[in-house]
Structure 1
Amino acid sequence: MKHKLKCIEFIGRDRLMHYTNINVPYQVDNPTREQRHQMLMQHLVEEGRPEDFKNIIEILNPPPDITTVCPKGYGKNSKIAVIGAGEAGLSAAFELRKIGCNITLFEAAGRIGGRINTHYFTDDKKYFAELGAMRIPLSHEATWHYINLFKLETSPFVINNIRNFFYIRNARAVNDPQGLSVMKNIYPQFSLTHEERKRPWQALEELVFSKYLYTLSPDERRELIEIKPKYSYKIQERDMMTRRMAYEGAGLSQSAISMLGNMALLEQNLIGLSFIQQLQEIYTADFGATYYINGGMIKLPLALYGALCDDTTDAYVNISKDELGQVNFKIGFAVDGIYGSPEGDGVILQYRDGKRGGCYYEKFDYVICTMPFSSLRRAKINPLFSEEKSQAIIELNYENAQKTFFFLKDRFWEYGNPCTRIVGGNTLTDLPNTSVFYPSDHAMPIPNLKNGWTLRPGASPSEPGVLLASYNWSMDADRIGNEYPSLRIDDIKGYIERIHGLPFEYIDNKFISSITFRWGQVQYMWGGAAIMKPQDKILFSYVVTLPEMNGKVFFAGEHISQKHAWQQGSFQTAMVAANKVAERIKAKKS
């Protein structure tokens, strides 16, 4: 208790009662569904909208199991193509196999996993970097469905930490709950109005959500992540807005917008894009308590792959091996064309072997296409998809993302006394590296101290650590990603030293190795994720889900969902698409 009180003194004696009396659910390892829901409800209670809980869970739940849609064995002799072996493709294949479908899974890249890509720095896989998705929110039920199915272990991924800080306009401030450090050190660097200077930065940010989120009814808020042919007026109004327009609409000055853009995760990179996508993430508490998969996020797609290869069979509950369909993997085969068969009874795919060359054609009963639109854009389609779908493929916005990780000899950020050391979370800056994430593997929550973290028993700062030294999207991802490798690494080392007040070449003495990954350069992806621009929701969110070629071609992936850039979107749309194929198979046999 003595240790805890010292840390509370660090954030302010006047807030002592607030933190000793608040009911903060303890973020446990491997949370049960009930524990996740308790943490989510507490977050919603704090925001004054507990009534959203039921809607959030209902919409993000996985659909009914495919065996309730179509009996086992009905898919025998059905020939299905799944394009893409990311999480959406693997999930769709896994589900369709339950009813006996024979599946051919095409993947243009030489690896499975798609945007899940874990890089291991050591042979024992103890130290790793998540080049793609790195955290799982409490409310993402479809993702947790597969985590639990494959019995994967999870630990808290720290996003918010009262020990993290901001480094903006050469000024440094601690991310204390009252915003006092920011008001003292960051505010003087900006030409804020008199009224803005009197409010903590959290209260300034709250003005935006008070106007545009909390004024919506529960049913209107539900629409933020629903997929519908038509949305209510208030949702349409918000979908017309960029994030900057929303901040202006809340009465904030351009100076305040500039400051807050640097103090909200990735906000400065995306400020000209869709405001409603930001509301979607706030609505489902995506940046509240989050988790990572122990040993690397790649374990989830590998578990699905293992089940498809019969390395693990217990995932198919009450289904014998003889009842399962066959799976044929074509890894390294790119689909270049999608054609309706002349007889109208199937779909012909044109594909090629990326290593040996050669063009092949093969007919399937149904196709589930999980290719991102950035890749589908180059495919030959005949007959053409609908005008609306074709326009969505052209227009739906994709943004580049870049990550650079440093593997260091020790964890300089974890040294110091318990009240100042940084254990997990992120620091934000207006420097080109945008955001810095500290690893969460040593982090243990402090009971009843919101966003308070300390070292796990036995964890030592002298142990090597993986620092996400630069994470950004859009223009900054292009700028840093396009630098010569030596220049990029030197620049980022300098940014880390400036942010943390370290001497010149300090990082050089700690440096073991690094890795940079830029998603815009990944072949057959050419983008980090679908990040909506204004009007993308009202124009495209429904039409992208519709099947094509007389109900023979279905679509799945994060870009088809309303949880863009999250695993939830991939899994949920894949399960929905598989169920739709199952409905067609059942109808054909009825």
Structure 2
Amino acid sequence: MLVPDFPFSYDSWLRHPAGLGTLPPSAAGIEVAVVGGGMAGITAAYELMRLGLRPVVYEAEQLGGRMRSAPFPDNPELVAEMGAMRFPLSARSLFHYIDLLGLRTYPFPNPLAPSTPSTLIDLGGRRHRARSTDELPGIYQEVADAWDKALQERAELSTIRDAMQRRDVETLKAVWNRLVTEFDDQSFYGFLATSPSFQSFRHREIFGQVGFGTGGWDTDFPNSFLEILRVVFTEADDNQVGIAGGCQQVPRGLWLHTPADLAHWPAGTSLAALHNGSARPAATRIGRTADGFSVTDADNTVREYPAVVFSPHVWTLLHRIDCAPELLPTAHWTAVERTHYMGSSKLFVLVDRPFWRDADPDTGHDVMGMTLTDRMPRGVYLFEDGPDRPGVMCLSYTWNDDSLKFATLSAHERLDALLTSLAAIYPNVDIRSHIVGDPITITWETEPHFMGAFKSNLPGQYRYQRRLFTQFMQESMDPEHRGFFLCGDDVSWTAGFAEGAVTTALNAVWGVVNHLGGSTHPHNPGPGDLFHSLAPVDLPYV
């Protein structure tokens, strides 16, 4: 995902035989704190270990963060993907680690995807079944054409995509910087409503409820249009796969993995081995010391470090963790306060078999398909691994206001509401009779250590995002602000995609190496070495 704001080729940096850098001999084995054991934290810890440092990981709950795969008690081989569950092939840095661990992937059953047996769209009480957009009524093709036309005419889609394919950074930056200036204050809905091809409210309504790629976009309508453009330009919404056995295998796999090219540490060293099998408990306080930082954990153990990598949602800095004000400059604290999160809820059930493949006696079609609807479930996804094995249904996947409709309901209340709604779409299908055990559900905005699914900027928040992303570049900061490095989804330009967690973690790795007197190989410069030639455009403040 060559993100246009900062088009550094992280995948090439990772693959280069020279490695990510070297540290002075005096730094070998030095402890560095890594707060948060999600995808960003584990990536940073893994690479810091490879470089010869001793990362000390603090985790409040379980390794993986929103890469969380919950096994079904009645069949633990099958999991519910509570957070991340689909990964675009353009996420090359993430796939560096997926491939390193030898994990198997499968085409994700998105609506109208080639591998999806069937998709049913239910809008306004009318249902249409299709395998591709061409099989839908003409108005859906009109909406698809309107979206493509708006992107081509107003956002230079072809020029950007071509520059990305050729990694033509000069063209990419020139066009994107103009788009940032034009659309920073524009919401997604505002873009649609002011596009000549979307003057029909009905077209905007259908696009919001169904959309193209992974489905409806209306819960994103209040967000900055720049957030949507990044998803489209990087093809994050296309060619997606799932990870067989669950995505939590990636951070857990890196926790256990023993790299072959370690500096300082003996062969067979892993993050798990350096931690005696378990991460430190939650960090509760991060303070400043004369030589660096002190971190207090939930066991009231205090350790000192020359550097700290911080990967959780940045709102936890406001109340979950007692922080020294000096950790960040005042402008960065403002950016933390202004961070906006998307809410999200999911509900999964285990079923005895993939009954949705049964033939409808009246039509001959499968009795159910991947479902997009304007009713309470919004998105229904079906997962199977053979006709004689249990299957998994994601009965609902919702965002923002649609997610809040579930927030006060218990798991079984949610299930009952969803089955009632789905009965109106599939009146002849008894879903409940196939369910095995209790539902598994989550609402990320009510999770105490997350308070949302992921960051997503509102119009006018680009400047705040730039401050957070570029925080790893600390050469111009006062000494009291150096050595504390933010990374993770909140810092990433591509919110909601694990690729952004990985790449910002790599920024933090570069920052720690630089902070401790190390450097990159001249033939393999890192993100900080090329920062000034690739830096995100700096919009005027006054």
The answer to whether the 8 Å contact 2:160/2:233 transfers is no
Q: CA deviation at 1:431?
A: 0.5
* Paired residues for 1:43-192 under 5 Å: 59=9, 61=11, 63-64=13-14, 67-71=19-23, 75-109=27-61, 111-122=62-73, 125-159=76-110, 160=113, 161=116, 163-175=118-130, 177-179=132-134, 181-183=136-138
Change (3 A) 1:578 1:55: closer
Q: What per-residue deviation string (whole Å, max 9, x for no partner) do you get for residues 160-191 of structure 1?
A: 247202101110012454555334xxx6xxxx
Separation in 2, partners of 1:135, 1:277: 18
Q: What per-residue deviation string (whole Å, max 9, x for no partner) do you get for residues 539-569 of structure 1?
A: 3234443147442111111111112111111
One-letter code of the match for 1:280? R
Q: CA deviation at 1:587?
A: 4.7
Which residue of the partner structure matches residue 431 of structure 2? 507
Which residue of the partner structure matches residue 285 of structure 2? 337
Q: Helix, strand or coil: the match of 1:82?
A: strand
Using structure 2 for the length normalisation, give the TM-score: 0.81
Q: 2:189 aligns with which of 244, 248, 259?
A: 244
Separation in 1, partners of 2:157, 2:366: 39
Which residue of the partner structure matches residue 529 of structure 2? none
Change (3 A) 1:421 1:162: same
Q: CA deviation at 1:220?
A: 11
Q: What per-residue deviation string (whole Å, max 9, x for no partner) do you get for residues 238-270 of structure 1?
A: 222111111112132223212211112241222
Change (3 A) 1:305 1:406: same
- Alignment of 1:520 with 2:520, yes or no, is no
Change (3 A) 1:499 1:57: farther
Separation in 2, partners of 1:70, 1:219: 35
* Paired residues for 1:260-271 under 5 Å: 260-264=207-211, 265-271=215-221
One-letter code of the match for 1:472? T
Which residue of the partner structure matches residue 448 of structure 1? none
One-letter code of the match for 1:480? F
Q: What per-residue deviation string (whole Å, max 9, x for no partner) do you get for residues 372-412 of structure 1?
A: 11212223223252122101110111121100012222323
Task: List alignment gaps of at least 5 residues for structure 2.
Answer: 475-479, 520-542
Q: What per-residue deviation string (whole Å, max 9, x for no partner) do you get for residues 116-137 of structure 1?
A: 1111125653322111111111
The answer to whether the 8 Å contact 2:224/2:459 transfers is yes
One-letter code of the match for 2:177? S
* Paired residues for 1:196-275 under 5 Å: 200-214=142-156, 217-218=159-160, 232-251=177-196, 252=198, 253-264=200-211, 265-275=215-225
Which residue of the partner structure matches residue 522 of structure 2? none
Change (3 A) 1:221 1:502: farther
- Alignment of 1:298 with 2:229, yes or no, is no
Separation in 2, partners of 1:216, 1:551: 41
Which residue of the partner structure matches residue 414 of structure 1? 357
Number of positions where the alignment pairs a residue of Structure 1 with one of Structure 2 = 491
Q: 1:569 aligns with which of 496, 500, 509?
A: 500
Change (3 A) 1:178 1:419: farther
The answer to whether the 8 Å contact 1:102/1:327 transfers is yes
- Alignment of 1:395 with 2:320, yes or no, is no
Q: What per-residue deviation string (whole Å, max 9, x for no partner) do you get for residues 318-353 of structure 1?
A: 657427698337646222332221x2x211223323
Change (3 A) 1:584 1:100: same
Q: Percent identity?
A: 20
Q: 1:347 aligns with which of 293, 299, 302?
A: 293
Separation in 1, partners of 2:177, 2:408: 42
Task: List alignment gaps of at least 5 residues for structure 1.
Answer: 1-39, 41-51, 188-196, 308-312, 354-358, 443-458
The answer to whether the 8 Å contact 1:174/1:182 transfers is no
The answer to whether the 8 Å contact 1:56/1:284 transfers is no
Q: Helix, strand or coil: the match of 1:142?
A: helix
Q: Helix, strand or coil: the match of 1:546?
A: helix
Separation in 2, partners of 1:476, 1:53: 29
Q: Helix, strand or coil: the match of 1:383?
A: helix
Which residue of the partner structure matches residue 586 of structure 1? 517
Q: Helix, strand or coil: the match of 2:137?
A: helix
Q: Helix, strand or coil: the match of 1:481?
A: coil
The answer to whether the 8 Å contact 1:62/1:575 transfers is no
The answer to whether the 8 Å contact 1:333/1:351 transfers is yes
Q: CA deviation at 1:234?
A: 2.3
Separation in 2, partners of 1:219, 1:210: 11
Separation in 2, partners of 1:381, 1:54: 34
Separation in 1, partners of 2:471, 2:264: 33
Calculate the aligned-residue CA RMSD, in Å.
Answer: 3.5
Change (3 A) 1:178 1:385: closer
Change (3 A) 1:419 1:280: farther
